[in-house]
Amino acid sequence: MAIRHYTTVIIGAGAAGLHCAAQAVRGGDTLVIDHARAAGEKIRISGGGRCNFTNLHTTPDNFLSGNPHFAKSALARYTQWDFIDLIQRHAIGYHEKTLGQLFCDETARDVITMLLQEMQPATLQLETSVTDIVKTESGFDLYLSDQKRISCTNLVIASGGKSIPKMGASGFGYGVAAQFDHPVVPTRAGLVPLTFGDGDLDWIKPLAGVSIAARVSCGTTSFQEGLLLTHRGLSGPSILQISSYWRETQPISVNLLPDQDGFDALRRARRQNGRRNVASVIGDLIPARLANSLAQIRGWDGNIGDQSDAALRDISDRLQAIVLTPIGTEGYRTAEVTLGGVSTDALNARTMESKTVDGLFFIGEVVDVTGWLGGYNFQWAWSSAWAAGTAIADRHRAK
């Protein structure tokens, strides 16, 4: 039986894979393969089902990588504005939330439908795994789980990372990189809640469900967004952001009064009603349950009118610098992204192609480029996919 040949095969029908197919198909027959039952499953659940598809403020500074310069080329040549233009051409309604985040008005499925339309006439083959890859003189032979064998000139790995394994996430792409002697930066969960041990968790756990706007810092990096106390530790946007920078044994600092002059507010309360309890006054500045818990832990009792300036300053300073040491994260189970991945040293920044294996490309989350929370990782998927797909199309149309 003759082996079916494709100009391009893309492994992974997520954001990067589908968008890459839309570009690559202009250069010849294109096949997208995925082991999942439906395309774009991470897109479907993202943004609470409305897909936070990009961020207005995207720059290379919003990404972590072993090489902070690597993402610049792709991000500059296919920007957030290019993807917004695509969204608008498909008449998908969208709106901006905080910090430049863009969401669909209706449903994330609108983005999936758009991507599937854009990739036509490429072929999508679901519920199919690639069991083996063999390099040939003219490209690659792929052995599939349905016992078929196909070949291709270009092979694009868009299989994502390890985050959310219950949705089928795996280390497949890292295995392909290793097969072809490409270095892989050690991976870890990113944009993930932090967990705590006895001591810290003793007072955090009873406050599960309490949320507050806070500035969270680790080393020299800080993020000011919502913070949520949970029965395992801390979550919320500020914690997810800082988790990508946190390393084991490092402490984090939480400022519960990022936009307030706590000392001034406490002195004002002392002047206005000195008979009020200290904990109740603090409860005017932060959630009452959290205020009562911290007051009990710190021994902040008595009337506000009996507190000296030094005591009020100490309270304010402590509310602005609560130092905690996480013992870990919730791991890939709840992580939104995977940090690390295929080393950028092995890839051409303009095309995403391997520097040593002609026709082999890596795009999206499988690469050692990870964005902040808020649509940045989707933009990396779009930009890296466009770079690879366009390079493939241009190469084959020129022949």
- The pLDDT of residue 2 is 72
Statement to judge: residues 260 and 357 lie in one domain: no
Q: Which among 329, 349, 378 is the end of a domain?
A: 329
Q: Is 139 exposed, middle or buried (0-12, 13-18, 19+ CB in 10 A)?
A: buried
Q: What angle do CA 338, 327, 195 make, to 5 degrees?
A: 70
Distance, in Å, from the CA atom of 308 to the CA atom of 313, rounded to the nearest integer, reads 9
Percentage with pLDDT > 70 across the chain: 99
Statement to judge: residues 23 and 170 lie in one domain: yes
Evaluate if residue 396 carries a pLDDT over 90.
no
Task: Compute the average pLDDT of residues 262-287.
Answer: 96
Using pLDDT thresholds of 50, 70 and 90, give the confidence band for residue 398: confident
Token pair listed for 174? 């890292």
Task: Compute the average pLDDT of residues 222-244.
Answer: 98
Determine how β-strand 123-125 pairs with β-strand 130-135.
Answer: unpaired
The DSSP 8-state label assigned to residue 48 in this structure reads: G
List, as one string, the DSSP characters of 129-164: -EEEEEE-SSSEEEEETTS-EEEEEEEEE----SS-
Q: Please compute, for residue 312, the number of CA atoms within 13 A of its CA located in the half-sphere on the CB side.
A: 23
Token pair listed for 232? 């395992």
Number of domains in the chain: 2
List, as one string, the DSSP characters of 343-368: -GGGB-TTT-BBSSSTTEEE-GGGBS
Using pLDDT thresholds of 50, 70 and 90, give the confidence band for residue 399: low
Statement to judge: residues 273 and 180 lie in one domain: no
Task: Compute the average pLDDT of residues 359-364.
Answer: 98
Task: Compute the average pLDDT of residues 151-169.
Answer: 94
What does the pLDDT look like over 289-308, one tens digit per residue? Answer: 999 999 999 999 999 999 99
Choose among 53, 9, 47: nearest CA to 143. 9
Task: Compute the average pLDDT of residues 336-345.
Answer: 98
Q: Which among 287, 302, 329 is the end of a domain?
A: 329
CATH number at residue 246: 2.40.30.10
Distance, in Å, from the CA atom of 58 to the CA atom of 310, rounded to the nearest integer, reads 44
Statement to judge: residues 230 and 320 lie in one domain: yes
Q: What is the CA radius of gyration of the chain?
A: 25
- The pLDDT of residue 233 is 98
Statement to judge: residues 205 and 159 lie in one domain: no
Task: Compute the average pLDDT of residues 386-394.
Answer: 98
Determine how β-strand 221-229 pairs with β-strand 211-218.
Answer: antiparallel
Single pTM value for the model: 0.96
Percentage with pLDDT > 90 across the chain: 96
Phi, psi of 245 (to 5 degrees): -105, -15
Range of the domain at 372: 4-188+339-397
Task: Compute the average pLDDT of residues 97-115.
Answer: 97
Evaluate if residue 1 carries a pLDDT over 60.
no
Statement to judge: residues 92 and 70 lie in one domain: yes
Evaluate if residue 195 carries a pLDDT over 70.
yes
Task: Compute the average pLDDT of residues 81-99.
Answer: 97
Mean pLDDT taken over the chain = 96
